[in-house]
Amino acid sequence: MTTLEYFGLPKDYMNGAGHFPTWGKEKKDDKAAQARKRAAAKNQKKGKANDRVAKLKKARGMETKNEDDVKPTHFDISVFLKSFKRFIACNGELRSQARKLLLKDINRTMSVFLDDYKEQSFKKCVDVYELATRLVAEGYEMDPILVENLGAMLMCFGEIEHE
């Protein structure tokens, strides 16, 4: 599971972190939901009688809360599937293609690591996840799957130093 964290799986996923990342985003734009919130706010201002009724309903298990407003508690497999598909796409052939591409013209590859004065600097660090976009900017023609996954492949399968 920790290997899939390189490919987008949230840390501590098995303990519930990162589940349903898009939950509730659709409702932000929903005008009807906003109208319901305003109506609920008005009802709260009406008086203590509503508070007593709400407490009684809650005590009896008859809450008026809409089930759609509660974040699901079950396991979200879609987040896992997305990262697993990215991992599977990085097969040996794609990794070999990336290695050959980077070694084909080593001077052009090293140009990504030049400093502002166009000199090679050992202090120059590049985020591995943005390395593919820098290589494309240098003129490399790369497969879209490789562009998306190069950083994750380097972290997972490459022997590179990283923080």
> What residue spans define the domains of the chain?
31-70, 77-157
User: Which position has the token pair 């009802």?
Assistant: 43
* Cα maximum dimension of the chain: 77
* CA-closest candidate to residue 128, choices 15, 6, 38, 3: 6
Q: Which residues pair with 120 in a beta bridge?
A: 114
Measured in residues, the chain has a length of 163
Q: How far apart are CA 2 and CA 78, in angstroms?
A: 17
Low-confidence ranges of the chain (pLDDT < 70): 21-33, 41-50, 61-74, 121-124, 160-163
pLDDT at res. 38: 72
pLDDT score of 76: 73
67 in Cβ contact with 74 (< 8 Å)? no
pTM over 0.85: no
pLDDT score, position 131: 86
What is the distance of C-alpha 107 from the center of its chain?
A: 33
Tokens of 18: 């990162």
Residue 163's pLDDT is 47
Type of residue found at 39: A
Report the chain's C-alpha Rg in angstroms.
25
How far, in Å, CA of 96 to CA of 54, rounded?
64
